[in-house]
Every structure is written in structure tokens, then in C-alpha cells.
Amino acid sequence: MSSHVFDREKWVSLPVLDQLGNIGSEVGRSMNAIRRKDEAALDGAFRRGIDLIDASASVLPKYRRRELMSARELFLRSVELRQPDERLEAYFMQYAIAARAGR
């Protein structure tokens, strides 16, 4: 994990929809930073996103972990190439909407 600090115990106790919705926020911030060519913002959002993905993947069942790790690879590729991935943003946005609807 990177140097980003968060309460891992609290994180893994959140419902999966909330976890994925929050990951989506960091993915969205990363994609917006790529569009703005804001390297500092991209670095922070990317690191937070990867930290959160890794924390979630560590407690998910195998079938969910595989899906999340595929999304992680797409996220890495998008940031490496500095090309926003709108499909990835839409994928995570569905979780954010579902999490909000469940409240």
C-alpha cells in the first residue's frame, strides 16, 4: 500500500456498495485530473483509489475479487496512458448510485 492513511478496519466493515461507490469517486477524480492534465491531483486520486481497491479486494469473495482486480488493471492502464476510461467511470458510478439508493 502507498502512504495514504485510512482506517482499514472501518473500510472493510462498510457495505460493498459503499466501498465500490467510494472507489468510483477516486476513479472519477483520476479521470477528471487526466482530462485537466493535473498531475498532482491525478497522483493523489490514483494512490487513494489503488489503496481502496486493494483493501476491498483483500476481503471480497473470490468471484468479486476477480472482477475488482480486472477493474484495477483498467484503472492502472488508463492512468499509465493518461487516457480517461469512460466505461470504467460508468462501471463504478452504478455502485455509487446503488449505494445512495439503499440509504
Domains of the chain, by residue range, sit at: 11-97
Q: How many CB atoms lie within 10 A of CB 20?
A: 26
Residue 5 confidence (pLDDT): 56
Residue 1 confidence (pLDDT): 43
Per the model's pLDDT, the better-predicted residue between 50 and 61 turns out to be 50
Cell numbers for 22, please give them: 467510494
Examine the pLDDT at 36 and tell me if it is beyond 60: yes
What's CA 9's distance to the chain center, in Å?
18
Q: What would the mean pLDDT of 70-92 be, rounded to a whole number? A: 97
Q: With contact defined as beta carbons under 8 Å apart, do 74 and 88 qualify?
A: yes
pTM for the model stands at 0.89
Examine the pLDDT at 3 and tell me if it is beyond 60: no
